[in-house]
Amino acid sequence: MARGEGVEHCNASLLNKSINQNGNKLAGKQQEERCRLSICNKLCYAVGGAPYQITGCALGFFLQIYLLDVAQLDPFYASIILFVGRAWDAITDPTVGFLVSRTPWTRFGRMMPWILMSTPLAIISYFLIWCVPDLDQGKVVWYLVWYCLFQTLQTCFHVPYSSLTMFISPDQKERDSATAYRMFVEVLGTVIGTGIQGQIVGMANTPCINSTLAPLDADPNATHPSNHSPLPIDLTHTRKAYMISSGVICAIYVLCAVVLFFGVRERKDLGRTKSEPISFWQGIRLVMGHGPYNKLVMGFLFTSLAFMLLEGNFALFCCYTLGFRNDFQNILLVIMLAASLTIPFWQWFLMRFGKKTAVFCGISFAMPFLAMVVLVKSNLVMTYIVSFIAGVSVGAAFLLPWSMLPDVVDDFKVMNPNLQGHEAIFYSFYVFFTKFSSGVSLGISTLSLDFAGYIPNGCTQPEAVNLTLKILVSAAPIALIIIGLVIFVFYPINEETRQRNRKMLQHQRENETDSESESTESGASDVCGQL
């Protein structure tokens, strides 16, 4: 009886093998269907990128002017906070990336626990950044501590989230499509961040100080405004407005994290580690030793730095150099709105003409308009038009880095098929370089304003400050964009390389599946032989 059952088992195994051999096409179609992401999945994934951009945009556009004019810190100390905060954030990125790559799988995945656990503490620290403490001494320490803590917790959210791109589908087209959804929502997040922060703060009508010196026959004991001893002004409404806007942003942050957690499934089969765990320094050598990754990171390092300089100084530029103190938040909103509306166009463009071509066309598009906003005489209507057109290039700058990073990771997998599970390291080091450069740019910008004689809350600024702002939002970004585009000339992954890598990775996955099937069938054949 046992022998008969064994024969039946063998016959069933042979039949299954025959079916598998004759049904490869059907299996391939089923695999392709399994790799596809629904629109709901893509939207839920995309929503998870909004918190990073909403908070980042609010901090990027408003933190400098907040520290100078609302918290009333000396520009030197403000530059220290901005530089140290960004530098600390840059250091935490590769550290968190390494820890994420070593995190074991849980019932929620490998990335999701990081996202879930970091959110509550992140919103608390973010809110406290926008509170002015009732302290005569220690304001610098207050802002430095909460800014660094928030950057750390946001890294614990964003590095796993950005790495999640590689774990939602093995198919390049699906990942590119999900990335386009993500970039659209992220740029929309910048619109939301700019809109919430700008409109709420703009309604507060922050007062300014007339820096005109008093006449010589005035009371010598009276306090007169000057560059170093401004009159005290009431900033109660302005400070309350910043707290309200930060509270709204914190609520959106939590909502987006919840949608991401419940709407996206992290695929365990894409996160299997097939190699032994590596040390932190081995991970650095692997990442930095990959040529295409180096060129991609260095190219976007300079182009991102250009847009970060623009972002960090544009509010001050609009307020003082252009004289649009009551309209700067609307001008910022126009830039971000244009960027979000053009994301679908740039996604179509890179699919039609290739990602490398999109880099040259999209990012260089901003240069003439960056020059125009400085050279053309100050005019509100013209400023709105130039800002909208410049926002088109900002959309390309948002989309392209995150669309091209998966291609570099795929290229690394093709060249190193036995090394798996290191995706988070690639993403974290890219974020490391961009954030470190951002810290340097913000620190240098604020110090430059200090040396030029910046007047906190001044209705007008010295001519040296206006010249410095023109350099920071026009000449310097244009030079950095040119350097970045020169580096991209040597970037080796074109459309032909992408398609070749896609086919080779698909072939590797098919071989792995066949090997597992053959192993199972071999075990069944051994049973048949014994019987």
Residues 348 and 445 in one domain: yes
Walking along the chain (531 residues) 10 residues at a time, the average pLDDT comes out as: 47 49 49 67 88 86 85 86 80 79 78 90 94 83 93 88 78 77 80 82 69 42 42 74 92 92 74 53 73 86 85 81 80 83 87 88 88 80 84 83 82 76 69 72 80 80 89 90 92 84 76 56 51 47
| Identity at 248, one-letter amino acid code | V
Q: Which residue, 180, 176, 171, 174, is CA-closest to 345?
A: 180
Q: Report how far residue 53's alpha carbon sits from residue 190's, in angstroms, rounded to the nearest whole number.
A: 5
> Is there a contact between 37 and 174 (Cβ–Cβ < 8 Å)?
yes
Inter-residue contact 82 to 65 (CB < 8 Å): no
CA separation for the pair 48, 373 (Å, rounded): 34
Distance from CA of residue 171 to its chain's centroid?
A: 22
Q: 3-class secondary structure for 165-231?
A: HHHCCCCHHHHHHHHHHHHHHHHHHHHHHHHHHHHHHHCCCCCCECCCCCCCCCCCCCCCCCCCCCC
Decide if 29 is inside a domain. Answer: no
Report which secondary-structure segment, H or E, holds 356: helix 355-364
Q: Based on the domain organization, do 259 and 335 belong to the same domain?
A: no
Residue 220, in any domain of the structure: no
Whole-structure pTM value: 0.66
**Alpha-carbon gap, residue 10 to 13, rounded angstroms:** 5
- Of 25, 11, 65, 44, which Cα lies nearest the Cα of 328? 65
Q: What residues are paired with 109 via a beta bridge?
A: 106
pLDDT for residue 278 = 58
Residue 275 in domain: no
pLDDT at 248: 93
Residues 312 and 404 in one domain: yes
Using the structure block, give the residue that is written with the tokens 């901090």. Answer: 59
Q: Are residues 192 and 101 in the same domain?
A: yes
Per-residue pLDDT at 143: 93
Evaluate whether residue 304 is within a structural domain.
yes
If asked whether residues 369 and 260 sit together in one domain, one would say: no
207 with 445: CB under 8 angstroms? no
* Amino acid at position 264, single letter: V
For 118-150, letters b (16+ CB in 10 Å) and e give bbeebbebbbbbbebeeeeeebbebbbbbbbbb
CA distances from 392 to 332, 357, 490 (A): 13, 16, 25
Assess if residue 526 is contained within a domain.
Answer: no
Domain that holds residue 504: 280-514
Question: What distance in Å separates the CA atoms of residue 171 and residue 371, rounded to the nearest whole number?
Answer: 41
> Is there a single domain that holds both residue 249 and residue 103?
yes
Q: Which two tokens stand for residue 16?
A: 């299954």
Same domain, 259 and 320: no
Closest residue by Cα to residue 154 from 428, 342, 390, 469: 428
Q: SS3 for 365-399, per residue?
A: CCHHHHHHHHHCCCCHHHHHHHHHHHHHHHHHHHH
> Is residue 25 in a domain?
no
Residue 515 is which amino acid? S
Q: What is the pLDDT of residue 102?
A: 78
76 in the same domain as 114: yes
As a whole number of angstroms, the distance between CA 345 and CA 400 comes to 12
* Residue 458 DSSP SS3: strand
Residue 129 is predicted with a pLDDT of: 93
Return the closest-CA partner of residue 162 out of 269, 51, 57, 262: 51
Q: Is-contact 370 480, C-beta < 8 A?
A: no
Which residues are within 8 A (CB) of 279 and not within 5 positions of it... i.e. 6 or more apart? none
Question: In this predicted structure, what is the pLDDT of residue 234?
Answer: 66
487 within a domain of the structure (yes/no): yes
pLDDT score of 481: 92
In a domain, 20, yes or no: no
Instruction: Give me the number of domains the chain comprises.
Output: 2
- Same domain (yes/no): 423, 486: yes
User: What letter would DSSP give residue 317?
Assistant: I
Residue 369's pLDDT is: 84
Residues 151 and 296 in one domain: no
At 60, which CATH number? 1.20.1250.20
What are the structure tokens assigned to 162, written together? 């950005």
Indicate if 321 and 185 belong to the same structural domain: no
Q: Describe the crossing of helices 172-202 and 39-47 by its angle, rounded to 10 degrees.
A: 40
- 166 and 292 in a common domain: no
